[in-house]
Amino acid sequence: MAPVLPLVLPLQPRIRLAQGLWLLSWLLALAGGLALLCSGHLLAQLWHLHTFLAPSCPFAALPHVALAAGAVALGTGLVGAGASRASLDAAQYPPWRKVLGPLLVVGTAGGGGLLVLALGLALALPGSLDTGLEEGLGTALAHYKDTEVPGHCHAKRLLDELQLKHHCCGRHGYKDWFGIQWVSSRYLDPNDQDVVDRIQSNVEGLYLIDSVPFSCCNPHSARPCLQSRLSEPHVHPLFDPRQPNLNLWAQGCHRVLLGHLQGLASMLGSMLAVTFLLQILVLLGLRYLQTALEGLGGVIDGEGETQGYLFPSGLKDMLKTAWRQGGVADRPAPEEAPPEEAPPKEGLPEA
| pLDDT by position in tens, the chain (length 351) | 566 666 666 567 778 888 888 999 999 999 999 999 999 999 999 999 988 998 888 888 899 999 999 998 998 899 888 888 877 776 677 777 777 777 778 777 777 788 888 888 888 888 888 899 999 999 999 999 887 777 777 889 999 999 999 999 999 988 899 988 888 878 877 787 887 877 877 767 788 888 899 999 888 877 778 777 777 766 666 655 555 555 788 889 999 999 999 999 999 999 999 999 998 898 888 888 877 777 666 555 556 666 666 666 655 554 454 445 444 444 454 554 555 555 555 554 454
What are the CA-CA distances from residue 290 to residues 77, 99, 109, 127, 311 (Å)? 16, 10, 18, 43, 11
Please check whether residues 124 and 16 belong to one and the same domain.
Answer: yes
Please check whether residues 22 and 116 belong to one and the same domain.
Answer: yes
Domain annotation covers residue 13: yes
The DSSP element (H or E) to which 306 belongs, if any, is strand 306-308
DSSP state of 301: T
Domain extent at residue 188:
174-250
Please check whether residues 9 and 92 belong to one and the same domain.
Answer: yes
Question: Partners of 248 in the beta sheet?
Answer: 217
Buried b (16+ CB within 10 A) or exposed e, 132-170: bbbbbbbbbbebbbbeeeeebeebbebbeebbbebebbb
Q: How many domains are there within the chain?
A: 2
Please check whether residues 21 and 114 belong to one and the same domain.
Answer: yes
Domain annotation covers residue 161: no
Domain annotation covers residue 158: no
Domain annotation covers residue 60: yes
What local confidence, expressed as pLDDT, does residue 295 receive?
Answer: 66
What local confidence, expressed as pLDDT, does residue 108 receive?
Answer: 79
Q: Is the dihedral of CA 202, 204, 205, 209 positive or negative?
A: negative
Please check whether residues 48 and 80 belong to one and the same domain.
Answer: yes
Please check whether residues 99 and 192 belong to one and the same domain.
Answer: no
The model's pTM is 0.76
What local confidence, expressed as pLDDT, does residue 261 receive?
Answer: 92
Chosen domain end from 250, 269, 292? 250
Chosen domain end from 227, 250, 273? 250
